[in-house]
Structure formats: C-alpha cells, structure tokens
Amino acid sequence: MKRSRISTAGLVAAAISFAAVVPGNPVWAAGGPAAAGQEHDVDEMDHTREEILGLYSTSMAGSSDARIHNIEKAVNLLNGEKIEPHRLFSYNDTIGNSNLADDGWEKAGVIANGRLTDDYGGGICQVSSTLFNAAAGAGMLIVERHSHSKTVSYVPPGLDATVAYGQLDFQFVNPYDYPVKINAKTYADNLVVITIVRA
C-alpha cells in the first residue's frame, strides 16, 4: 500500500477538522473523574492527578506467556516516548515491525479477517488500544485508527485500535504548545497502564 507524506502543518489542520471524537470514552482526562480502579493506576505510575492529561488501563488476564511477552516488549518500546508540540506520533514507527521473529517477537493470538489465529506480535494491539484511549482522554488529535474485524475483550466495543505494520497504523498529533510524554508499564501480573503527561 502506497502512503503519501504531507506536511506537519497540513496534518495538524486536517486532524483538527477530522479528529475522531469518542463520546463517553471511559478515560481519565485532566481535571475529570477517574474511571473505577484507576486511582491505584495513578499511584503505580508515580504521577499526581494534576500531572496526567490522559490515562487508561487494560487487563491481560487469561493471556498466554507469548502474548504477555509481546505486550511487555511493546510497552517497553513505547515507554518514555516524547512528542513535541504539533508533531505526529506513529505507533508502528515507535514499536517497529512485530512480524519479525529475529527482533524477539513471539507467536500469539491475532485477529485476521475476523478470525483468531497465531502470528508474531500477537498482543501488541492491546497496547495500541490502551494508548488510543489514553490519547483520546489527553485531547490528542487522532489522525489514524482502525477497529479490529471482531470485538476484543480488553476494551469496550469501538474503543480498540488495531495495527498491522505497513498496512494499519495508530497515529495522533500533539495539539498543544508543549511536549507530552507517554509513560507505559505493566504491573500486578496482568495490567497494562498508559499515561500521557506534560513532558
């Protein structure tokens, strides 16, 4: 699939016009109420409520060891990523090609054409979906997002963000006049937590 490149200024203008808005999105937004159980997530991430622009957490309960490995690898690659003002963030550019066994990715469940199968990088869409919800809560301008071809268990219907390297990406623009940072981690054996804070 051929992808065209556009200027950052043009991208920001397009994002402002067409940014996805998700009504009733259960995220932690700056100055807003926390979703149930997220007070502990804030403590675990070593933030105060005032520092957080957006936060979201999902559960890995029931995941295979290979899936957990891929999730933890993606979280580690994502953690600490800084996005300058009005700049584009690309999940695929940050995580890299998860189809490569040589890069340490393992085979785990993925959804392809509405069916569950095993492939390298299975599980990284849970991280991109967690990030999508945190980014939406933080007021990021969503430029590209795709839903899975079937529902997933770790987010409510319509709040997922699937990725496939070279085909489907999750992208957003930092609309603020200051940089933001993504903090991501797994804890308590089964939780994925992502915050977006002012850098």
Instruction: Tell me the C-alpha distance between 174 and 181, whole Å.
Output: 10
Q: pLDDT higher for 93 or 189?
A: 93
User: Which residues lie below 8 Å from residue 65, measured CB to CB, with a gap of 6+?
Assistant: none
pLDDT over 70 at 20, yes or no? no
Tell me if 2 is assigned to some domain.
no
Q: Identify the three-state secondary structure at position 15.
A: helix
Q: Identify the three-state secondary structure at position 66.
A: helix
Instruction: Tell me the C-alpha distance between 36 and 42, whole Å.
Output: 12
pLDDT confidence of residue 22? 34
User: Which residues lie below 8 Å from residue 8, measured CB to CB, with a gap of 6+?
Assistant: 86, 87, 88
Tell me if 1 is assigned to some domain.
no
**At residue 108, what are phi and psi to the nearest 5 degrees?**
-155, 175
Tell me if 3 is assigned to some domain.
no
Q: What percentage of the chain exceeds 70 in pLDDT?
A: 78
19-30 average pLDDT score: 38
Q: What percentage of the chain exceeds 90 in pLDDT?
A: 65
The residue type at 143:
V
Q: Are 198 and 82 in contact (CB under 8 A)?
A: no
pLDDT confidence of residue 184? 97
Instruction: Tell me the C-alpha distance between 69 and 66, whole Å.
Output: 5
Per the structure, the complete domain to which residue 164 belongs is given by 8-198
Tell me if 193 is assigned to some domain.
yes
Structural domain count, the chain: 1
pLDDT confidence of residue 115? 83
pLDDT digits (tens, 9 = 90+) for 103-154: 999 999 998 887 888 899 999 999 999 999 999 999 999 999 999 988 899 9
**At residue 70, what are phi and psi to the nearest 5 degrees?**
-65, -40
